[in-house]
């Protein structure tokens, strides 16, 4: 089915078998060869890549190699410019979510190094103003993942060191400098809406053994994230989304939790309908199973009453 070709020319000729390349949105890959694959009765010349992160094989039609944005891993000079860019504070994030989404999607699809940097930097600046909505949080994490991988590959340093350095630029610690210029130390971001609402952050470990409290605590910041997803440009008040998020968690059939004052308060509204629903189900099920004959009677009575009432009114 597949045959390997000799001395292949890949893309514009700058790529060779064995090169480390960056596949847009996938990360660092190594070109393992060029093969001719028979797919649907046609012969396709495909470039095979192996993703370094997990060894997954990626096959790209040879004619599309340059079109999809496959490129070599950046050199050290480019990484240096990346850090210059990261160390420059971004105080003006794009607030229009439509424009931001379109721009970020284009940058990530393009697969350029500086496009990824701009995505990360823009979302980072936005996160200093308010929590990111879930999709952008995911994008932020992807951009960070790709950038950390490329920095590590380019500089030949461990991933951990690469990420720490990236954040020395984004969240400069005290005394951090870049090319002799002191960077302003990171400040604490604004409290999330959940915190302003007075929700207790304690993990409530006593309950964690049963499996409950830890879920309640982190849900609070995330609830705020969800709320922002619904309407990106409108800042919503904290309590409403927090309650909204708590509801599905409380419905989980896990016993014995909720000791915390904050979370208990939060839980009240969500519990109320659940409790009401439970007896209603019982009432409906019991007669049906044990006394099927009685089931008809109550059904008739209300009907009769309703008739009577209706007559009376007339």
Partner 1 sequence: MIRIVTLSEFPPDVVDFVSRRLHAAYGMGSELEGEGEIPSSAMDDEQSAYDAVKALEEMDDDVALYADDKILYLTTEPLTAPEGPMGRGPVDGYAQYGAGKAIATAHGLADKGVPLEVGLAKRAAHYVGHLWDLHHCYDPRCAMHPGWSPGFAAYPEVALCLFCREKSERKIKLGST
List interacting residues with partner 1 (CB under 8 A).
Answer: 53, 79-80, 83, 87, 124, 127-128, 131-132, 134, 137-138, 140-141, 144-145, 148, 151, 155, 157-165, 167-169, 171, 173-174, 176-178, 186-189, 192, 195, 201-203, 205, 208, 211, 214, 217-219, 221-223, 225
**DSSP secondary structure code for residue 62 in this structure:** G
* Burial classification of residue 303, based on how many CB atoms lie within 10 Å of its CB (0-12 exposed, 13-18 middle, 19 or more buried): exposed
Residue 104 to residues 121, 128, 131: CA-CA distances in angstroms? Answer: 11, 18, 17
Percent helix, strand, coil in the chain, to 5, is 55, 15, 35
Under DSSP, is residue 256 helix (H, G, I), strand (E, B) or coil? Answer: coil
Measure CA 138 to chain center: 3
- Please report how close the Cβ of residue 11 comes to partner 1 at its closest, in angstroms: 28
Residue 182 or 306: the one with the smaller Cβ distance to partner 1 is 182
In the chain, at which residue ranges do the beta strands (DSSP E only) sit? 3-4, 20-23, 27-39, 42-51, 57-61, 71-72, 177-178, 181-182
**Least separation in angstroms between CB 183 and partner 1:** 9
Supply the minimum distance, in Å, between the C-beta of residue 189 and partner 1: 6
| CB-facing half-sphere around the CA of 124: CA atoms within 13 A | 21
Least Cβ distance, residue 155 to partner 1 (angstroms): 6
Q: Between residues 90 and 192, which has the closer beta carbon with respect to partner 1? A: 192
Q: How far is the CB of 218 from partner 1 (least distance, A)?
A: 5
Nearer to partner 1, 17 or 186 (CB): 186
H-run or E-run covering 75: none
Whose Cβ is closer to partner 1: residue 115's or residue 172's? Answer: 172
CB 104 within 8 Å of CB 119: yes
State in angstroms the smallest separation of the CB of 69 from partner 1: 23
Q: How far is the CB of 89 from partner 1 (least distance, A)?
A: 15
Whose tokens are 């950046």? That residue is 74
Q: What is the DSSP letter of 253?
A: -
State which residue, 115 or 212, has the beta carbon closest to partner 1. 212
Token pair of 176 as six digits: 């951090």
Residue closer to partner 1 (CB basis): 84 or 284:
84
Closest CA relative to residue 68, chosen from 36, 26, 109? 109
Contact 263, 216 (CB under 8 A): yes
The contacts of residue 8 (CB under 8 Å, 6+ apart) are 17, 33, 34, 47, 62
Residue nearer to partner 1 on the CB measure, 46 or 119: 119
- Of 32 and 127, which CB lies nearer to partner 1 in the complex structure? 127
- Provide, rounded to whole angstroms, the least separation between the CB of residue 178 and partner 1: 7
> Which CB sits closer to partner 1, 48 or 192?
192
Q: Minimum Å distance from CB 215 to partner 1?
A: 8
Distance between CA 52 and CA 57 in Å, rounded? 9
């Amino acid at each position: 089915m597949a045959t390997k070709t000799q001395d292949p020319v890949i893309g514009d000729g700058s790529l060779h078998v064995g090169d480390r390349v960056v596949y847009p949105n996938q990360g660092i890959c190594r070109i393992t060869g060029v093969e001719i694959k028979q797919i649907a009765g046609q012969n396709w010349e495909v470039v095979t890549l192996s993703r370094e992160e997990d060894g997954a094989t990626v096959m790209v039609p040879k004619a599309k190699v340059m079109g999809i944005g496959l490129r070599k891993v950046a050199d050290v000079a480019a990484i240096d410019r990346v850090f210059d860019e990261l160390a420059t504070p971004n105080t003006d994030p794009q607030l229009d979510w439509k424009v931001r989404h379109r721009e970020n999607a284009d940058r990530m699809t393009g697969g350029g190094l500086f496009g990824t940097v701009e995505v990360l930097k823009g979302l980072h600046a936005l996160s200093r103003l308010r929590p990111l909505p879930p999709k952008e949080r995911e994008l932020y994490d992807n951009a960070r993942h790709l950038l950390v991988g490329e920095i590590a590959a380019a500089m030949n340093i461990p991933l951990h060191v690469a990420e720490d350095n990236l954040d020395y630029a984004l969240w400069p610690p005290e005394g951090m400098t870049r090319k002799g210029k002191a960077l302003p130390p990171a400040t604490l971001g604004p409290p999330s809406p959940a915190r302003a609402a007075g929700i207790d952050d304690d993990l409530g470990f006593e309950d964690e053994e049963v499996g409950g409290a830890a879920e309640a605590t982190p849900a609070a910041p995330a609830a705020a994230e969800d709320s922002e997803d619904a309407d990106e440009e409108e800042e919503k008040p904290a309590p409403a989304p927090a309650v909204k998020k708590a509801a599905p968690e409380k419905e989980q059939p896990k016993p014995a939790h909720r000791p915390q004052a904050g979370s208990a308060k939060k839980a009240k509204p969500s519990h109320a309908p659940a409790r009401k629903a439970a007896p209603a189900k019982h009432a409906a099920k019991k007669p049906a199973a044990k006394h099927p004959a009685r089931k008809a009677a109550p059904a008739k009575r209300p009907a009769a009453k309703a008739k009577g009432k209706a007559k009376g009114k007339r």
